[in-house]
Every structure is written in structure tokens, then in C-alpha cells.
């Protein structure tokens, strides 16, 4: 059976920017609801970003990919073979894709939020830490690591989040030696709190309903 519809499905440009520090290295990843990206799109997007951000975003830290849909707009690629079905290059398609990618990165840049986890742990021996050489301690603003890595997993069929891996530099010794209870300690508590929070959201999405995708 063949299904048809008079309405098109809206396509998106989805973006993510990971930043080491406010002035440190960064990586921008953009995923298009399109057949694929191209060198020409990357060149044009970087030209526009350079006007607003200088050399902050370059070919070395910006990746643009496509989901390989065969039902997207055509004519936006610079290669003749890929433009045959659209009877040549289509400026309108190209501009729509480039605008979406540019807006995606600008939106993500303007919505960057700190990823530090402050006040979540203490140094087990501040006096021992102070025995490090001054130039070593000068590299850090605190005596504990406040950085956290958290990749998440999405069910690609339903679009729902299904879980996450987390590496947080804290020792599981919140329960002292006098406790008689079996416990997963702070890591186990964090996992339980996260799962309870996840179960209370709508399809694993924040209840505020925010949408950071850029439509085109």
C-alpha cells in the first residue's frame, strides 16, 4: 500500500556546541534533515559565521552532516551528478539550507550554558593538595574537578531519550564507616534521582517544552 499526503513534513537543522571553556576550544555539530551536506554549504556557512565570530568557527571545529533522507529538497549541492533530478542547481534550496545551518549555530552559540558541577563534592585532603607545586595549582581555579562528561542515548525510532552515561569525578564515600545500611552511595543516589526526574518528564523531555531546533 502506498501512502500519500498533501502536506510536507517540516525539516529541521539540529545543532550542538561543546565548549571546553569560555575562551577555549569548541566543537559545533549540525545535523540536517537533508540528504547530505556538502563542501559548498560548509564554505558558505563559515563565511557568514566569520562575519560575526571571526575565527571562532572554522573548518576544523564545525561538522555538518545529513540524515540521508531521499525525500528532501534537491538542487543545493555543487556536484552535477546530485543535481540531475532537480534539473540543476536551485538557489532557493541552497539558501534555505545555509540559512538554517547558520541560524542553528548562532542559536546554539547564544544559548551556551556552563557545564561545571559546582558544590557537588569536596577535596578529600585540601592540605595534601596544597603540597602540589604552585605552578601546578595555578592551572585550576578550585582544588576539585568540576567537569563532567555525559553522553545521552536517544531511541531513533521514537525520538525519546532512553538513558545516559556519566563520568563525574567524585569518590563514592559519602556514607561513613559507621553506617549499617547497604547503599549505592552518592553515585547510586544520583542515578536514582535522575531516573525519578526522567520518569516525571514528558517523554523524557523537559517540562518547559523548549525546542532548540531550527526549522527550515
> Within 13 A of 91's CA, how many CA atoms are on the CB side?
0
| Cell reading at 147 | 567537569
Q: Collapsing DSSP states into helix, strand and coil, what is residue 121?
A: coil
What mean pLDDT value characterizes the chain?
79
pLDDT tens for residues 56-81?
888 888 989 888 877 777 888 888 88
Q: What residue has cell string 534550496?
A: 93
Q: Where are the domains of the chain?
A: 12-110, 147-206
Q: Is the pLDDT of residue 126 over 60?
A: yes
**What's the predicted TM-score (pTM) here?**
0.56
Q: For the residues 96-109, what does the mean pLDDT come to?
A: 86
94/104 Cα distance (integer angstroms):
15
CB 117 within 8 A of CB 148: yes
Helix, strand, coil tally for the chain in percent (to 5)? 30, 15, 55
DSSP, res 163: E
- Quickly state the pLDDT bin for 135 (edges 50, 70, 90): very high
Q: Collapsing DSSP states into helix, strand and coil, what is residue 166?
A: coil
Q: Collapsing DSSP states into helix, strand and coil, what is residue 102?
A: helix
55/41 Cα distance (integer angstroms):
17
Amino acid at each position: 500500500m502506498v501512502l500519500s499526503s498533501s502536506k510536507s513534513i517540516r525539516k529541521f537543522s539540529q545543532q550542538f556546541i561543546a565548549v571546553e571553556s569560555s575562551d577555549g576550544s569548541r566543537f559545533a555539530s549540525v545535523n540536517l534533515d537533508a540528504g547530505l551536506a556538502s563542501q559548498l554549504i560548509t564554505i558558505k556557512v563559515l563565511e557568514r559565521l566569520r562575519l560575526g565570530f571571526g575565527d571562532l568557527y572554522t573548518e576544523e571545529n564545525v561538522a555538518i552532516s545529513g540524515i540521508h533522507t531521499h525525500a528532501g529538497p534537491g538542487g543545493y549541492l555543487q556536484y552535477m551528478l546530485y543535481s540531475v533530478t532537480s534539473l540543476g542547481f536551485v538557489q532557493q534550496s541552497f539558501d534555505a539550507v545555509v540559512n538554517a545551518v547558520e541560524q542553528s549555530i548562532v542559536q546554539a552559540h547564544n544559548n551556551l550554558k556552563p557545564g561545571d558541577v559546582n558544590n557537588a563534592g569536596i577535596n578529600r585532603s585540601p592540605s595534601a593538595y596544597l603540597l602540589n607545586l604552585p605552578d601546578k595549582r595555578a592551572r585550576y581555579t578550585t582544588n576539585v574537578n568540576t567537569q563532567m562528561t555525559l553522553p545521552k542515548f536517544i531511541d531513533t525510532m521514537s525520538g525519546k531519550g532512553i538513558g545516559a552515561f556519566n563520568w563525574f569525578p567524585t569518590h563514592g564515600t559519602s556514607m561513613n564507616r559507621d553506617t549499617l545500611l547497604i547503599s549505592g552511595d552518592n553515585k547510586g543516589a544520583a542515578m536514582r534521582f535522575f531516573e525519578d526526574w526522567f520518569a516525571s518528564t514528558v517523554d523524557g523531555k523537559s517540562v518547559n517544552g523548549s525546542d532548540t531546533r531550527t526549522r527550515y
